[in-house]
Amino acid sequence: MKRFITATAIVISAALASTSCAQEIIDGELHVPERRIEGFVYDGADRAIVMQTIAAITAREGDAPGAWVYEWTQVANAELARAEAAAEIGDREQAETLFFSAANYYAIAGFPEYHSDAEREALMKHFRAYERGGAFMAEPMQIVPIEARGKRFNSYFHRPAGVEHPPLILWTHGTDKFKGHAYKTVKRLLDRGFAVVTFDLAGTGESTFWNLLSDGEFVHEAVLDSYASRDDIDTSNIFEVGVSFGGHYAAKMAAKNDPRLRAVASICGPLHRPFMQSAEDISHLLSTEEGATVRAFAHRIGADPNDSDHVASEIRKFSLVEQGIMGSGAQIKTPLLVMNGGRDPLSPIPDLQLLADSAATSELWIMGMAGHCARDYFEPAVTDVSEWLWQYASKQ
């Protein structure tokens, strides 16, 4: 069964993953693409504060006044102080909101590299602030350790209040948004009756003891193994949703045909064409305002960003066509939802169609002329995705 749906009226997709921020100093001037600013604001940043902070930044590197990390850390520190004050007087709702806000600003401080000591410190503060906020949720967040390939990493487990054995969604973002970025989405899914576990991709967030790997789905498998053995969720109804690079691995998890996964949604996942770029293409991107993002990705996969030939060789390994997952018939038996904006060079329509065609049961949802992850459609998207998942839920 297949359905191909193309309409801006079908409001789906996500405002997540690689829509945070890329920044470059070009000819002495800070360049921050508008779509990145929108990503900040979507995640909870105040637009006026965003613009004021950007105006104060004169350097991308370093941790002195005027540097990207320094200026954003000052904003985050102030928000954290307000959160601590709210917690001190027992204002749980305000404390939750402010801790999550501080977590967002700390994440901005380290973006997109999370490579220098100052950037890594900001990232760790992001996670600690998020964990403080999670403790004030109506059903407090649980920090659940997972083991894979001899390493131990944390997942964040959220339960809907008042639901005894909820269905579970495994939710992952991309390479520059982590388990602590999912606050708004998690809240909406909790309201729909789902439990949600978020975790970092290999090579991202707190899981940088690995590189970002072409077989990085082993992290997802370890999370599935852990949660499928719990007695406080409905283990007959486990789903996976991945956004951006999370959508890449979601497609790979669907291809495992694991009967424990009832259905999978791959949202704006890069699948094939972006991994087939030449060394010349990569050299050009490094000279643009997206250069910081490209360098960050090169670092994540263990490639030297100064060696475009090496980067081109390494990224090719991620192609799902090269891996035999797409383009070889309907090998995927897990019900699969594939969706994205219609004007996304990172995940173009031919790639999306090829993935959908590689599943026996699939739907492809295209969002008109929207770009990567079609951020403007996200709010109603969460509801639509949850309804799509529910139709595959076991009724036992």
CA distance 15 to 173: 10
* pLDDT tens sequence across 85-94: 999 999 999 9
Mean pLDDT of 40-54: 91
Q: What are phi and psi of 202, to 5 degrees?
A: -55, 135
CA distance 136 to 101: 13
Higher pLDDT, 178 or 63: 178
Chain position carrying tokens 């899914």:
189
> Please, are residues 64 and 70 in contact by the beta-carbon 8 Å criterion?
yes
* pLDDT tens sequence across 139-168: 999 999 999 999 999 999 999 999 999 999
DSSP secondary structure string, 33-88? -HHHHHHHHHTT--HHHHHHHHHH--BSSSSSTTBHHHHHHHHHHHHHHHHHHHHH
Mean of the per-residue pLDDT values for the chain? 88
Q: Which residues contact 347 (CB under 8 A, 6 or more apart)?
A: 247, 268, 269, 270, 271, 274, 340, 372
Res 21 pLDDT > 50? no
Q: Which residues contact 318 (CB under 8 A, 6 or more apart)?
A: 214, 248, 270, 275
pLDDT tier for residue 60 given thresholds of 50, 70 and 90:
confident
What pLDDT score does 13 carry? Answer: 26
Res 29 pLDDT > 80? no
In Å, how far from its chain's centre is CA 190? 18
Tokens representing 232? 């406080």
CA distance 24 to 289: 5
What pLDDT score does 291 carry? Answer: 74
CA distance 232 to 368: 40
pLDDT tier for residue 113 given thresholds of 50, 70 and 90:
low
pLDDT tier for residue 395 given thresholds of 50, 70 and 90:
low
Helix (H) or strand (E) holding 169: strand 168-172
Res 12 pLDDT > 80? no
Q: What are phi and psi of 292, to 5 degrees?
A: -65, -40
Res 48 pLDDT > 90? yes
What pLDDT score does 19 carry? Answer: 30
pLDDT tier for residue 23 given thresholds of 50, 70 and 90:
low
What pLDDT score does 372 carry? Answer: 83
* pLDDT tens sequence across 160-187: 999 999 999 999 999 888 999 888 899 9
Tokens representing 155? 């997942």
Tokens representing 68? 């990207």
Give the rounded percent of residues in the chain with a pLDDT score beyond 90: 67
Res 15 pLDDT > 60? no
What pLDDT score does 296 carry? Answer: 79
Note the pTM of the prediction, 2 decimals: 0.89
pLDDT tier for residue 28 given thresholds of 50, 70 and 90:
low
* pLDDT tens sequence across 328-374: 899 999 999 999 989 888 899 999 999 999 999 999 999 888 888 88
* pLDDT tens sequence across 228-247: 999 999 999 999 999 999 99
Angle of the 183-191 helix axis to the 378-390 helix axis, nearest 10: 50
Structural domains in the chain?
A: 1-18+139-272+319-396 (3.40.50.1820), 19-136 (1.20.1440.110)
Mean pLDDT of 201-212: 94
* pLDDT tens sequence across 312-321: 999 999 999 9
Mean pLDDT of 9-21: 29
CA distance 392 to 265: 12
What pLDDT score does 11 carry? Answer: 25
Mean pLDDT of 376-395: 84
Higher pLDDT, 294 or 127: 127
